[in-house]
Every structure is written in C-alpha cells, then in structure tokens.
Amino acid sequence: MLVYGLSMLQPQQLEPHTDAASSSSSMQSSQQTTGTGTGSSIDDITDDNTELLVMLCSASARHLQRFNAQDLSNTLYALAKLQHAPPREWMDAWAARATHQLPWFTPQALANSAWALAKLKQQQPQWLAACMASAAQAAHAREVGAQEACNLLWAAGETQLDVPDPVIGELLRCLRPQLPACSPQDLASIMYALARLQAAPGVGWTEAYFAAAAGKLPAFDANTLSITLWALAELGLAGGPAWKMAVLARLREQLPTATPRQLSTSLRGAAALGWVLPQRWLACFLAECKPRLGRFQPHDVADAAWALATLKAPCDARWGFVWLQPVL
C-alpha cells in the first residue's frame, strides 16, 4: 500500500498516451505517459525514492503469496506510474501469484495490470495472454468499460502479444457502442494498438470508429492526429472524402504546434493512405517545416522526403538540399 500511496503523489492521469515515433521503414510508434493536475513531478518522486522503492520491492517479495487480486494489481500499477521496474525475480513471483488469483481480477484490475506490464516492458506473455482471455470473457458479458478495453488493447499492441482473433473481436464488440464517449487520446490509442497487432477491424466497426473520431476531431491535437494517421496507414483504412478533408483541416490548424516527428509522421501517413493533398495545404506544411528543419532527426527527414515525393509536393530542387542539411 505504501508503493501505491507514493504513486498517488504524482499527477493523476493514469491512461496510456502515445506519441508517434516513426522510422522511415516502419513508422512505428512509441508510448509515453503524461500527467495532468498539480503536485510533485514523477521525476522528483522517482529520483528521491528509488532506494525506498527497491527496499519496498524486496520486502513485498516475501509477502506476495498473501496478496489478493486487488493488491497485486494496485502494486504493479503503482510501480508503473512511478516508472520503477522491479527485478525479474519479483516479476516472476508476481506473475505466479497473479495466475493463481486470476479468477478474482476485475476488468479494471486486468486492464491496470496489463497496462503496467507493457509500461514497464516486462516480459510476462503467458500471464498477459491469460489476462486477455479473461478480459474477453468479461467483454462478452459487456462488463468491460471503454477505458479498460483501450488499456487492454494498448498493452497487447505495445507488447505485440499474439492475441487470438476471437479475443480481439470480443473487446472490439464491447467497445463499439462506447466509442462516442472515448476521448481523442483513447481513440488514437485504440487504432495504434490495432495497427501494432495488425488486426484490421470489420467494416461496421471501422465506420463506427470514423463517426466517433469525426465528432471529436476539434479536440485532436498534433500528437493524436499523427498517431491516428500512422495507424490508419498501417491498416490501410483511408476513410471517406469527408473524413479526409476534416482531418486535413484540423491538422493544418495544429501545424504550428506540431513537433518534427509529428509533422513527418502525419505527412507520411497521409501519403501512404493515397490521399491527394491540396497544393495550398502542402505549401502551408512546407512553410511550417522550414524554420524547424534543424530539429528534424534523420528518420523524420526520410519520412517527410518520401511523403513529399509521393504527394508530388510543390518543391523545387533547392528544397532537396534544405531537407538534407539536418543529416549532412
């Protein structure tokens, strides 16, 4: 409980937040968690209490066999929030006890534990697979909430777990009527997870997703837009003309605040989807990129250059040298 209490001292945003991190060949995304609210920063907490957390993990290892499902979930979730990865021996003991207690895990405990394992990059595929199967049963009974389904899918995608199609199907069926209530961050995380799992949803579910996302587009920021475009491109889901125009309009509004990674990922996603971008839109994109080219990483340059060539952007030969300057 002390570990859980320490985790409560940092800002209270608990859900996974993905930030597009693509390479020129794979456009893969990496995950990061952000917090909202007030209080000590997570860096302050982890820096000041690393030794304490090591001691607490060592002490709790002797008592894990007495932990119930809620204790197990809370402890692992708190460690993930504090960004403290326990030793392998502790994780193996946790997984053994969690397997024994699995029938008593609630959907929230399953989702929190799965999210924590992925966040801490802990390799416990057998327990995670059992967790997903148990969650699918709960989803079949419509007992899994939108945030829980989102976190479960994200954890499976982030770890690239080999999840059977029926398990993903149950989670998606449970999630479909809840899509309109999902936040932009959740909607981006869901599509990111499906792309990582290479699990393209059915036509009906995809239409429901596009409808929900279109209603939330005014609240999408540059990060959630870039993640969504990356994922849609990975799955080959281009959407209709109205969706494309709405996304481009929102992305144009967000260009001034986008990072080089978000700019290059968004443009590559649009190009990979086969979208035809208006020349005026591309001119605005180039104008926003030019003063920030010094901050583009080599893979950002490669992604953007590929996309501009694919889109036949209005660039003369001089632009090629400008784009290459950050990597020369």
- Per-residue pLDDT band for 200 (boundaries 50, 70, 90) equals very high
- Per-residue pLDDT band for 320 (boundaries 50, 70, 90) equals low
- At residue 323, the pLDDT reads 56
- Dump pLDDT digits (tens) for 140-195: 999 999 999 999 999 999 999 999 999 999 999 999 999 999 999 999 999 999 99
Least confident of 18-27, 174-183, 233-242, 285-294: 18-27
pLDDT mean over 218-224: 97
Q: Are 102 and 67 within 8 A, CB to CB?
A: no
229 CB neighbour count, 10 Å cutoff: 27
Q: DSSP labels for 199-242? A: -PPPHHHHHHHHHHHHHHGGG--HHHHHHHHHHHHHHT----HH
Q: Which pTM value belongs to this model?
A: 0.82
- At residue 44, the pLDDT reads 42
| Extents of the domains making up the chain | 262-268+279-328
Interatomic CA distance for residues 63 and 97, integer angstroms: 10
- Dump pLDDT digits (tens) for 74-128: 999 988 998 888 888 999 999 999 999 999 999 999 999 999 999 999 889 999 9
